[in-house]
């Protein structure tokens, strides 16, 4: 069950970020108003952490999910609570980017270990995510 939920959470993460990046280019106000919906992924992440404990799965699942939750917390803090332009300040941007890449790495690698096909799906979506991010900035 953990493997399936982790994969689905990785899919949701990628699809939502790709959607946010695509919408942001022409509708930044919309993303600023409704981008918080992405933060709701924290709920299934906590659920999967509990599943990991219950099913006594590899603790690396929990580690990557905590990294994901830390990324979501930083995103919430910067964009929705403090509303600061952190992307222009390397001291604020650096931990954000480290968490961003670490959580995406975790989704790809942990799924890849169990299923090459699903791992390739998440890797492809991550590359697409990066491309859309670059194209819309």
Encode pLDDT of 7-50 as tens digits: 999 999 999 999 999 999 899 899 989 999 999 999 999 999 99
Encode pLDDT of 57-106 as tens digits: 999 999 999 999 999 999 999 999 999 999 999 999 999 999 999 999 99
Q: Phi and psi of 115, rounded to 5°?
A: -150, 115
Look at the pTM and tell me if it is higher than 0.75: yes
Q: How many CB atoms lie within 10 A of CB 124?
A: 12
DSSP result, 53-82:
HHHT--HHHHHHHHHHHHHHHHHIIIIIIS
| Range scoring the smallest mean pLDDT among 3-7, 27-31, 126-130 | 27-31
Rounded Cα distance, 72 and 19, in Å: 16
- What are the extents of the domains in the chain? 2-135
Nearest to 10 by CA among 127, 125, 131, 132: 125
* Confidence tier at 137 by pLDDT (50, 70, 90): confident
């Amino acid at each position: 069950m953990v493997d399936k939920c982790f994969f689905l959470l990785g899919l949701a993460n990628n699809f939502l970020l790709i959607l946010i990046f695509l919408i942001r280019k022409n509708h930044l106000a919309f993303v600023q108003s409704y981008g918080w919906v992405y933060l709701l992924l924290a709920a299934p992440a906590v659920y999967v952490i509990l599943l990991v404990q219950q099913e006594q799965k590899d603790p690396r699942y929990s580690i990557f999910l905590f990294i994901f939750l830390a990324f979501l917390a930083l995103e919430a803090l910067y964009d929705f609570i403090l509303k600061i332009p952190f992307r222009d300040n390397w001291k604020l941007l650096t931990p954000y980017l480290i968490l961003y890449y670490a959580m995406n790495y975790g989704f790809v690698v942990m799924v890849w270990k169990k299923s090459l096909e699903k791992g390739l799906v998440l890797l492809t979506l991550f590359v697409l995510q990066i491309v859309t991010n670059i194209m819309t900035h």
